[in-house]
Amino acid sequence: MKYLNNIVEQDHRRIERLTRPGRRFGGFWSAQRTLAGFEAMGLMTKGQLRNIARGDIRAQAVFIAALFQITV
């Protein structure tokens, strides 16, 4: 209860809820990429990325492609 108002702890709850079903990652790199994806989607959903509007799908796709080093 003492962390109820802590923004970081509240944000961590979302990640815990998302990763609970997939606790057994195949390896370190798959876990790292999965968690990076969860974090990126959370940032986009909350509109916390600079120069990327909340509804700008093209800019979000470019951001994800750059994050995971893939081509669009």
d(CA 61, CA 41): 11
Q: What is the pLDDT of residue 21?
A: 67
Q: What is the pLDDT of residue 4?
A: 57
pLDDT tens-digit series, residues 36-68: 888 888 877 777 778 888 778 888 888 888 888
Place of tokens 């998302």: 18
On whether residue 50 sits in a domain, the answer given is yes
Q: Mean pLDDT, to the nearest integer, of 23-37?
A: 80
pLDDT tens-digit series, residues 7-22: 556 666 777 777 776 6
On whether residue 1 sits in a domain, the answer given is no
* Total tally of structural domains belonging to the chain: 1
Domain holding 11, by residue range, is 7-67
Write out the two tokens for 3. 């962390």
On whether residue 36 sits in a domain, the answer given is yes
pTM of the prediction? Answer: 0.58
